[in-house]
Amino acid sequence: MTDRRTEALHSEAIGLDARPLAEIATLLAEGQVSAARAALDAAEQIAAAARSMAETIRGRGVLHYVAAGSSGLMAAADAQELGGTFSIPAEQLRIHMAGGLPTGVEMPGGTEDETEGLGEALANLGPSDTVIAVSASGTTPYTLAAVSLARKAGATVIGIANNPGAPLLSAADHPVCLATPPELLSGSTRMGAGTAQKIALNMLSTLMAVELGHVHDGMMVNLHADNAKLRARAEGIVARIAGVDTEAAQGAIAAAGGAVKPAILIARAGVTPAEANDILRQTEGHLRAALARVKQTENQEGDIL
């Protein structure tokens, strides 16, 4: 049975509107802090789900983010960040939001009950794909319909919900229950539940990147420097990891076509771009292993000399 805590009345709700605004602000902030703790309790489940996402990307499958309403906005935000942050190819990412992604300020509430077009949108789902389904209640018709299609196609399902015992969690291969307390505004899941969802989604994508070797000592080493901000960031990353000055880092980045991982190997070991990419292929994109291989080669050459 679903625990409908997302619709429950908060213990501080009675007389809320008669309190001073500063007092209400404190309650709102405390609600967000309490909601954030829900992700801590789900850390193990989130890690397992992230590993599955990494397997999908490594196997050239597709990550499908599916949700409605405010949960859809959270899911879409995470998906849209993966390209710029970790250079996940656009062809391996899809966003399915009930009613489509908003282009204005209105987000029709009735669309979460509509499932028309989902079959066509998910027609190419297969066993190599993963569906990340998000719903505060865990009962959203649009999201559950997508999960049903995913299971028929043999795709992996990650289900994120805020109500324990929700159907979405029961249907998922990787259930992530974010048991947030009742909202200060009953049913307004864009607040506490949304905060917990945002944290969980951030954790999922970041852990996936770690598993893929796209993070090194807390730095985003799989980014592609294709604008001024990212070029500056890339220069700092290459200089720090390779132990070179900014000018050398810039030259290595240019030689690597803007890709940070091979640029680090070029700057660190003086290898060619082709050699750098070959080493990264051999180490499945893991920079730490690639650097160890380069160091081993340097030591062997030193012994010969």
Q: How far apart are CA 43 and CA 56, in angstroms?
A: 20
Q: Are 263 and 252 in contact (CB under 8 A)?
A: yes
> Residue 255 in 3-state DSSP?
helix
User: Would strands 219-220 and 215-216 be described as parallel, antiparallel, or unpaired?
Assistant: antiparallel
Q: How far apart are CA 11 and CA 56, in angstroms?
A: 43
Active site residue ranges: 81, 112
Q: How far apart are CA 250 and CA 254, in angstroms?
A: 6
Q: How far apart are CA 211 and CA 205, in angstroms?
A: 10
211: tokens are: 């598993």
Q: Are 130 and 115 in contact (CB under 8 A)?
A: no
Q: Are 118 and 145 in contact (CB under 8 A)?
A: yes
82: tokens are: 């993966």
